[in-house]
Amino acid sequence: MLKISITGALAAFLIFHDSGPAFSQTDSLQARELREVTVHAFESEKDPLTTTATVGMLTPRTLGRFSNYTWANAVNTIPGVRMEERSPGSYRFSVRGSLIRSPFGVRNVKFYWNGIPFTDASGNTPLNSVDYGAIQSMEVIKGPGSSIYGAGTGGVVLMQSRPDNEFQNRVEQSVSFGKYGFQSRNSTLQIGDISVQYGHSEQDGYRNHSGMVRDAIRFTSSSSIGEKGTLSLLGMYSDLYYQTPGGINLAQYQTDPKLARQSTATVPGSEAQKAAIYTRLALLGGNYVLQLSDKWTQSTALYLTFTDFANPFISNFEKRDENGVGGRNIWQNKSEWGNIKTNWTSGFEWQYGKSAQRNYDNKGGVADKQQTVEDIRTTNLSVFSQLEATLLTDLTLSAGLSYNTSKYKYERYFPLPFNQDQKTFDGIFIPRFAANKVIAGNWSVTASYSGGFSPPTLQEVRPSAGGFRKDLEAEKGNNTEVGIRKAGKVISGEISLYHFGLRNAIVRRLDEGGAEYFVNAGKTKQNGVEWNINWDILSDPKLPVMLKLWNTGTYTKYTYEEFRQADSDLSGKLIPGIPRFSQSTGLDVLLKYGISAFLTYQHGDSFYLNDANTVKNTAYNQWMARVSWKKSWGQHFYSELSASAEKVNAGIYSLGYDLNAFGNRYYNGAPKNNLWAGVKIGWEWQKNSK
């Protein structure tokens, strides 16, 4: 409790200290006006002080505090958000929630990329197929976003890949190296608002059987169509391979944390079965925005995806061929009625996916005797409308409502007899109400109530062993939240308190062979406090040094309210995978001549690894440092040299635990120290004017 009290006292001092006019610095050591930063959450363009949403921002500068091998360290500085990489390429992403629904991949968090749905119809997000350099910023909406973003209780992420300056031409090449065989290459060509980026990343991995190779190319463009239209295009192709070492038990971890899952007398291990993921993903999308009049805007986003997936696993060899199509249509009206400004947004989002799934026996990484042949078609629809009104410039009210429905159609061709089934999640109306009041020009108070609706994903209704679990019900939840924000040229910050109640919570189980399946776990009660503070100690660019100190943190209590497992009543138990307390503290140092240093300290408390609350991990303390030197050599050529290091103190350290693991195989060992170094060179020319 002492560390919580110290952090809370620091937060109280920094936020409630009066620091003058309404200015804020959010992504730079130079003081910038708060209104230069725009929050796009819930299709509203607001500054961070007046938005009715609770949002975490990752900008190019905040991403630049860390090495360029993963987003995880940067994402984990956002309070209430957790990103894990159990082994290279195996991502998990959680917003204010448990990771027990995500044995691999990203589930129950809705992603959009340049305004185009990136989460597919079945609720899965292929984030690990995206190269690190392809994303320039993320906006993380915390709490359910179903009132305007469709199904999901775990939050929304808006990703952006756009040139920093669309009137600049450049060619850029970067190369990075690190421990455990890490290397990456990134090439970028930008001609005005057209950008092509290719990234290659590979590493041997810290653990046995944890290598990864990824090649990805990304294309973006934005062009004027007529006098009032803009067409933005997004294309991506990714080829990803990574080995899956699997979890080990405590005795094995203590013997050698680098071990992959070991063979037993009845079940072979990961290395013997050459367990791995092979994914080829192609995405093509476009977003057309038409300014119909001074008040009306209409936008339409469409996408196509093609996925070739293979997973030799312990118990089987799974192959999937998947196609997806979908879109999002929005009509927006912005009007003024005296002292009242209104923003009315209405539209719909529709998605369809087909997955042809084949399971075989796995003979040392080779598909053998056929086990199952199944097809699943997924359709979901969300229709939404939201009205936002700003009264007297300092009071913003927002009310939204959506109608959501989802359906799975299942066909089994083998083993015979042929079977046909379906599961429909009945249409449900989801509301959201929010208010923001600005006080004294640089303070604001925000309150919101929102609902969420999250059907099981494709990998939950059809787990890796095959079959169709139509008994699974959709999660439904309600979130109540209040927050206080402070904007200032020197001090800025935010404190939020929330209560989230979830019904029919979906949790993961593993059988003896390691295959997962999912069950509904009754009700949960999730309470939390989040904060972030930014203190520009020295921000005058004329000084020889600029300093910024920042702190973010979370304190939670997540419990099962009603949950029975066989003959055990687990009501009141803490939900596994959620630390009660976590925080990040950083110091940004900018010196003359383009030299900068970023120091970060992260702490995470221990948490339970199973529903019965009988097994815990250990707390960790992590120190990270990055230094860089940026230099312009004349008008065209520029370069950057960087080096990064990490050091962890922990009894047991894992970048992701297998919760409720069969045979107590909870642990995925991770390195307690790491090093990286990189160089970037570029040539820019012909800075065109408008």
Query: Is residue 460 a contact partner of residue 506, using CB atoms and an 8 Å limit?
Result: yes
Q: How confident is the model at residue 638 (pLDDT cuts 50, 70, 90)?
A: very high
Q: What is the pLDDT of residues 249-307, one digit of tens each?
A: 999 999 999 999 999 988 999 999 999 999 999 999 999 999 999 999 999 999 999 99
Is residue 671 a part of any domain in this protein?
A: yes
Q: Which pTM does this prediction carry?
A: 0.92
Per-residue pLDDT, 211: 97
Strand partners, 183: 177, 202
Strand partners, 649: 621
Average pLDDT (464-471) is: 81
Mean pLDDT, all residues of the chain: 89
Return the DSSP state at 451: E
Per-residue pLDDT, 511: 67
Share of the chain above pLDDT 70, in %: 91
Is residue 447 a part of any domain in this protein?
A: yes
Residue 267 structural domain: 41-686
Contacts of 373 (CB under 8 A, 6+ apart): 357, 358, 412, 413, 414
Phi-psi region of 192 (alpha: psi -120 to 50; beta: other; left: phi over 0): left
Phi-psi region of 114 (alpha: psi -120 to 50; beta: other; left: phi over 0): left
Is residue 3 a part of any domain in this protein?
A: no
Q: How far apart are CA 244 and CA 464, in angstroms?
A: 15
Q: What is the CATH number of the domain that holds 650?
A: 2.40.170.20
Strand bridging mode 156-160 / 110-113? parallel
Q: Which helix (H) or strand (E) is 250 found in, with range? A: helix 250-255
Q: How confident is the model at residue 520 (pLDDT cuts 50, 70, 90)?
A: confident
Is residue 116 a part of any domain in this protein?
A: yes
Q: How confident is the model at residue 338 (pLDDT cuts 50, 70, 90)?
A: confident
Q: What is the pLDDT of residues 482-497, one digit of tens each?
A: 999 999 989 999 999 9
Is residue 11 a part of any domain in this protein?
A: no
Per-residue pLDDT, 510: 67
Count of structural domains within the chain = 1
Is residue 571 a part of any domain in this protein?
A: yes
Is residue 13 a part of any domain in this protein?
A: no
Per-residue pLDDT, 111: 95
Is residue 255 a part of any domain in this protein?
A: yes
| pLDDT over 90 (residue 505) | no
- Is the pLDDT higher at 636 or at 466? 636
